[in-house]
Amino acid sequence: MPDRRRPRPAQQRSRTAPAQRGRRGDPSRLASYTLLREVDGGAYANLELPRILRRMHLSGRDAAFATELAFGTIRWEGLYDRFIALAADRPIERVDPGLRDTLRLGAHQLFGMRVPAHAAADETVALARQVNGAGASGLVNAVMRRLSEQSRQDWVAAVVPDGLDVTARLALEQSHPDWVARALRQALLGHGAATPESVGASLEALLTADNTAAEVSLVARPGLTTVADLLARGGRPSPVSPIGVRLDGGAPGDIPEVRDGRAAVQDEGSQLLALALAAAPTQGGGPGRPRWLDLCAGPGGKAGVLAGLAADAGADLVCTEISPHRADLVRQTLRLGIEAVGERGASVVVRTADGRAVGESEPEAYERVLVDAPCTGLGALRRRPEARWRRQQSDVGALGPLQRALLTSALDATRPGGVVAYATCSPHLAETRFVVTDVLKRRDDVEVVDARPVIAEASAGRLADLGEGPSVQLWPHVHGTDGMFLSLLRKR
C-alpha cells in the first residue's frame, strides 16, 4: 500500500504558478460545475443538462466534454470524496459544497478522462477562481497537485480498508452506496442471474456497467415514424428492440423526428415492456371495443409506444397519472399520437387520477393494463447518476405499499382473460418478485404468464439469457438495457 504521508513524486503536474493561471474556467467545465450545483439542489441531471447546454450555447465536442465530465463526476463522487479527503487532510464534510464539486470535477479529469494532469490542474484552479473565489484556488492547487502524485489504482489502495468482504470492497471501488451494492447482489441471486459462486463476478460486472455511459437509444413510435427513417438520420439498428435505433454521436434533438415527437430518446428495455404488453396472450374477449390502460403513465414514454400499438390492435388507450404536471407531460408526449390514432378511428385519453382507485371505479374495464410502478430506479443508475446518492434504503419500504396497491387496482380493473404487466426500473427483490408474490397470495383469480417467450417475441428473437422465469429481469451488463423487471399476470 502506498505511503499516505509521502506520495511518490509527480509524473506530470502543472508548471504554471497559481497567480499566473487563467481566472475563468472554460465554458464546458463551467457547465459541468453548474450541473453539479443544480443536482445538489435536487435537480435531475438528465433533465437539467440540456437546459444548461442550451443556455450556455454549447454543442458538439464542447457539449460532449461537459456531459462526460459531469455525469462521470457524479457517478464516481463517492470514491473521489475519499481521495479528496485524504489529499486535503480533512473530512470531506468540512469542505464547502461548491468547492467540493470543483475538486470532484478535477479528480475526474485526472482519473476518469483523457485530460493531461497539468491541464486538469490549471483548468480546475481557473474554475475555482471563477466560481469559488480567489481564496479557494490555493487549496485547489494543493489538492490537485497531491492527487496527481499517485495513480488511480494507488489512491484506491489507499482508501479501501483491508479486511472488507467482497460486496463492501466492490461498493467502494465502484462508487456505490453499500446498501445499493448489497441489494443488487441479492437481486442477482434472487432473479437467478448468478449463483453463490459467481455472484461476486456478476456484481462487479453490474456495478461496472452502472459506471459506463449508456448509448443513446431512440424509439420509432409506432404509427408516427419507422426505424428506416431513423437509420437514414445516421442511427444503427438496436440489437434488442425492433423499434429501436442507437446513435453513435450528435444531439438527438437535432433529428427532426425527435424534435417533433415522432421519435424519442427511450431505453430499449422500456420499449420492450410496451411491446410485451401488446404481445401478451389474452383469453376470450369483452363486449365492444377493447380498452388498454397505462396506470402510471407519466412522463409518457411507454404511452408514446402503446398509443400506436393499441391503434394497430383496434383498441383505445387510457393514460392515468396522479400528478397534474406529469399528466401534462403525457399530453405533450402524445400530442401527435392522439391525432394519428384518431385518424384511424381509435382514441387516446389522458386523465389526472389516482391509479389506486381505478380498479374500484372501473372494475373489469380493460383488456391490457401496464403498471409501470414508482420505484427506486436502481436499474437505471447508468442513465440517472445522481440516483445512487439520492435514494435511501428506507425508500424501498416506503414505496412497497404503493406498488402493491397499484398492482391490486390494476388486476381489479382488468377483465377476465385480460393481462396486467407489472414493471419496474429496479431489480430490487422487494420491488419486484416480492410485490407480485404478496399480491397473488390474496387472490385466486389470477394466473402467472411466462414472460420469457413474450419478451422474446417482442424483441423479434434478439434477446437471450432471460433467466428462469416466469418473470423477466433485464440487466445492463447482460442485455445492454436498463435493469427492467416484468411480470405478466392474466385474470382467470
Q: Which cell numbers hold the place of 72?
A: 462521470
Q: What are phi and psi of 473, to 5 degrees?
A: -120, 120
Cα dihedral: 152, 116, 73, 76 (round 10): -10
DSSP class of 254: G
Whether 375 sits among the annotated catalytic residues: the reply is no
- Hey, how many other C-beta atoms are within 10 angstroms of the C-beta on 14? 22
Nearest-angstrom CA–CA distance, 349 and 319: 6
Residues 6+ apart with CB under 8 A from 55: none
Find cell 502543472 and name the residue: 14
Nearest-angstrom CA–CA distance, 206 and 407: 28
**3 state DSSP class of 21:** coil
Nearest-angstrom CA–CA distance, 209 and 214: 8
Strands 485-491 and 472-473: antiparallel
Give kind and range of the element (H or E) at residue 209. Answer: helix 199-210
Find cell 394497430 and name the residue: 312
Cα dihedral: 157, 158, 159, 165 (round 10): 40
Give kind and range of the element (H or E) at residue 487. Answer: strand 485-491
Per the CB < 8 A criterion, the answer to whether 423 and 308 are in contact is no
> Given 296, 319, 375, 425, which residue is catalytic?
425
| Closest to 337 (Cα-Cα) out of 347, 328, 323 | 347
Per the CB < 8 A criterion, the answer to whether 304 and 219 are in contact is yes
Per the CB < 8 A criterion, the answer to whether 17 and 11 are in contact is no
Q: Which residues pair with 447 in a beta bridge?
A: 490
Please identify every residue annotated as catalytic. Answer: 425
